[in-house]
Each structure stands twice: as structure tokens, then as C-alpha cells.
Amino acid sequence: MWQAISHQLSDVLGKPFKITEKEPLEGGDINECYCIGDDNDRFFLKLNDRDLLMIFETEAESLRILNEADCIQVPQFLHLGTSRDKSFLVLNYLPTKVLDNDAAYTLGQELARLHSWGEQAEYGFDLDNYIGLTPQPNKWRRRWCRFFAEQRIAWQLQICQEKGIDLGNIDTITSRVIDILMHHQPKPSLLHGDLWHGNTAVTVTGPIIFDPASYWGDRECDIAMTELFGGFPQTFYDGYQSVWPLDEGYQERKELYNLYHVLNHCNLFGGSYISQAEHSIKKLGLLK
């Protein structure tokens, strides 16, 4: 495997690259992650089973469009490949630290600029991708209420049901989500899509975001997720508000948007996330 990676990177770089350094890095629950290098260059490597190549392909597309927006620093794509039994994604390597208050403020400003970038008439993405290991459908829709209700909440509920997790009648919940968002038709914004604090850091060149699950949607979805798993420094929200203040009603929509990620954690991990989802569905009044 390592020899295959070396050979492929040599072709991409146009010069010999023989791995002499491979340092394991923390990479979450899904992939093996390494810093690899020879005597001259170092790269970030994500590694998984060969049949999960599609996850890396869709991540590379999210990184491509985020790089095109050029509003926030994201990893630079170098190579996507396979060996006999593994798939891998190679990105540039940058040492990182946890966001401090100043970097968080800058990140908030940059995220607001990302959300205002581009002109897109519909909600969705040019391809379906993944949120963690869960497929994420992104078929284009003109109405935000239908996109979010059908391709986010109903989709996750269906997966839950297939796994034996019954959280209520899917049609009833979906209809109620449509009702709640019926009159909310925000500008489609390019989203990171999985913006919890573990997918952010600061480098010597400023804040960076990574592991995206991008699509065009309501910017509030990104902001809501920042409040779900541990939260961001207050300066992040101050920075965001200084560029593009949030709309009235965000606080009411926040828990509904985060239900999507809670449901995804139900499907990935089960356990306490099931009761958390049940509580949110009841609190939001999604069942009669």
C-alpha cells in the first residue's frame, strides 16, 4: 500500500517521492489519518477501505468549490487514489492549533463572506455526498422547505426506520417541517455542511475548515451546527454578525436544523442520540 502511494505521488509531483515518514494523526471516527513525507515534502493522508473511495471523491469536490469561493482557507487537494485494498485522499499538510478568540473572530467573518458568495437559484449540489458515513442526497429544489424536509429530515428518519429506530410517522413529521419553513426562503448559500468545532483549526496562515459535506442551503444550518457539539468561542459569532447579521427567527429554526445532525448520529452511533432525537421531535411539535 505505502509503495503504491509513493508511486502515485511521484507521478503527480513529477519527481520521485519515497515515504520516509508516516506519523499517525487524530482523524475522527471514520478514517485513518497520517502525515507522510520524504526528505523534502510533507502531505496529509486520509486512508480507508477501497470501497469507500466515493466518500473521498465527494469530499474532494466540496474542497474544490470551497477553494473556488476563496473566502476561507481549506485544505488543498493533491491526489485521490487506490491501492489493492485501500482508497486514499492526499492533501497539503499544515500544522494546526485549536482556534483562539482572535482566529475565531476572523473565521466568523470569513464564513459570513462564504455564505454571501455566489449566485445560486436553487438548493442542493451537483452530486450527492456524505455526512460522515451516511449518504447525503442533494437533488436540486427551488423551495427550501421541501429540500430540508425531504432530503434532510425525511431521509434520516427513513434510515432510522430501516435500522429499527422508530421516531414517529415520517409523513407527519415531514409535513410539519414543511409547514414550519413554508415562509422561510433564504438566499442559497454555499455551506461547509458539517461545521462542528472539530472540523476547524488555526494555522500560521489563519483559520482553516476541513472535512466538508457541502451543498447550497440556508446559511443558518452551518451556524446552528456550531452550537450543537460543544460550541464555538463567542468571538466567532461576533465576527459573523459584524459582516452579515443573522435573520430574525434563527433561534426558532436552530433546533430544527440541528435535528438533522442528531438524527445522523442516531444512525451512526445510536445510544443517547435516540432519546435526544425523540426529545427534539417532541419539543419542536413535529408529531400530533
Tell me which of 194, 211, 218, 222 is the catalytic residue.
194
Domain that holds residue 265: 101-284
Q: What is the pLDDT of residue 28?
A: 66
Residues 112 and 213 in one domain: yes
Residues 57 and 133 in one domain: no
Q: What is the pLDDT of residue 285?
A: 96
Q: Bridge partners of 190?
A: 216
* 246-268 tens-digit pLDDT: 998 999 999 999 999 999 999 99
Residues 234 and 125 in one domain: yes
Among candidates 248, 258, 206, 273, which has minimal Cα distance to 228?
258
Q: What is the pLDDT of residue 288?
A: 73
We report the CATH number of the domain holding residue 150 as 3.90.1200.10
Residues 129 and 263 in one domain: yes
Residues 76 and 156 in one domain: no
What are the helix (H) ranges across 138-271? 144-148, 155-162, 170-181, 219-226, 234-243, 250-269
Give the predicted TM-score (pTM) of the model: 0.95
Q: What is the pLDDT of residue 283?
A: 96
Residues 135 and 67 in one domain: no
Q: Report how far residue 238's alpha carbon sits from residue 268's, in angstroms, rounded to the nearest whole number.
A: 33
Residues 168 and 202 in one domain: yes
Domain boundary among 92, 121, 148: 92
Residues 86 and 49 in one domain: yes
Residues 53 and 107 in one domain: no
* 161-195 tens-digit pLDDT: 999 999 999 999 999 999 999 999 999 999 999 99
| Residue 156 confidence (pLDDT) above 70 | yes
Q: Report how far residue 78's alpha carbon sits from residue 65's, in angstroms, rounded to the nearest whole number.
A: 15
Domain boundary among 92, 121, 136: 92
User: What percent of the chain is modeled with pLDDT above 90?
Assistant: 95
What's the angle, vertex CA 264, arms to CA 159 and CA 208, rounded to 5?
145
156-160 mean pLDDT: 98
Q: What is the pLDDT of residue 27?
A: 67
* 194-211 tens-digit pLDDT: 999 999 999 999 999 999
Angle between helices 155-162 and 250-269 (to 10 degrees): 30
Eight-class DSSP state of 143:
-
Q: What is the pLDDT of residue 96?
A: 94
| Residue 90 confidence (pLDDT) above 70 | yes
Whether 194 sits among the annotated catalytic residues: the reply is yes
Q: How many structural domains is the chain composed of?
A: 2
Residues 165 and 265 in one domain: yes
Q: How confident is the model at residue 29 (pLDDT cuts 50, 70, 90)?
A: confident
Domain boundary among 35, 60, 92: 92
